[in-house]
Amino acid sequence: MTDIPDDEQTFLSGLLKATRQRRHHVKWVDRDGTDCQTALTHAEVVRLNIIAGKRGISKSEVLRQAAHVPVTR
């Protein structure tokens, strides 16, 4: 697979890097009551911890509240 264009190689390398990282799973409840589980990279869980800490709530609660925020385009 040495004939892969640079942009595709970068993309594939990123996928492999993320796959090899230890994933953190956060369970939370979606706005329709569905139980969800989100897999996060270390960097994502650090950022989520910061957001949760600032608000004084759990990571699960941050995700639950975020599910109620309308998507802007």
Does a structural domain hold residue 18?
Answer: no
Residue range 39-65: mean pLDDT, rounded: 94
How many Cβ atoms are within 10 Å of 48's Cβ, its own excluded?
20
| Domain range for 38 | 23-73
Domain count, the chain: 1
pTM here? 0.69
Q: Is 12 helix (H, G, I), strand (E, B) or coil?
A: helix
Residue 13: alpha-carbon gap to chain centroid: 18
Does a structural domain hold residue 30?
Answer: yes
Does a structural domain hold residue 6?
Answer: no
Does a structural domain hold residue 44?
Answer: yes
Q: Measure the CA–CA gap between 65 and 67, rounded to whole angstroms.
A: 5
Angle at 24 between CA 16 and CA 55, to 5 degrees: 130
Q: Is 57 helix (H, G, I), strand (E, B) or coil?
A: coil
Does a structural domain hold residue 71?
Answer: yes
Does a structural domain hold residue 39?
Answer: yes
> Confidence band (pLDDT; 50, 70, 90) for 1?
low
Does a structural domain hold residue 60?
Answer: yes
Residues with Cβ within 8 Å of residue 10, at least 6 apart in sequence: none
